[in-house]
Amino acid sequence: MEARCSCGGLRVLIAEDVTPAVVACHCIACQRRSGSPFGIGAYFPMSALTISGESKAWTRTGDSGGAFTTHFCPTCGSSVYWTTEKHADAAGVAVGAIADPHFPGPIRSVWEETRHDWVEIPTALQHFPRGRS
């Protein structure tokens, strides 16, 4: 499985034998990062990912106080993956960059206190008003 930016310059090859935790995040930062009412990320151990191509990184402080770093293509601007200081051994990969209509839906929905009223995530088994503790 592969995630990539729009122009193909930044790619993440994902090991086939790893099951991701798929999360829908409705926080304002993910809304702005994704340009949509929520961000959907599939979380994998870093050891399951092979990253190739050039990326530009932007780091912000997350609500936990730790660093949240988004990696995006410097050519087309697509956000492809992100890392957090809190979980340094894992990375979130943008489900839209995987571009597989059969990819599993989110099991968790976080930051629902800033969820758009018309958005529902029917596959989520867990719902949190803020981030998961």
**Domain membership flag for residue 44:** yes
**Domain membership flag for residue 132:** no
CATH number at residue 44: 2.170.150.70
Q: How many domains does the chain have?
A: 1
**Domain membership flag for residue 133:** no
**Domain membership flag for residue 118:** yes
Q: Up-side HSE of residue 22: CA atoms within 13 Å toward CB? A: 17
pLDDT for the residue numbered 132: 78
pLDDT for the residue numbered 94: 97
Q: Range of 81's domain?
A: 2-127
Q: Which of 26, 7, 24 is nearest to 103 (CA)?
A: 24
Helix/strand/coil (H/E/C) assignment for every residue in 17-62: CCCCEEEEECCHHHHHHHCCCCEEEEEEEHHHEEEECCCEEEEEEC
pLDDT tens for the 133 residues of the chain, in order: 999 999 999 999 999 899 999 999 999 999 999 999 999 999 999 999 999 999 999 999 988 788 999 999 999 999 999 999 989 999 999 999 999 999 999 999 999 999 999 999 999 999 999 987 6
pLDDT for the residue numbered 109: 97
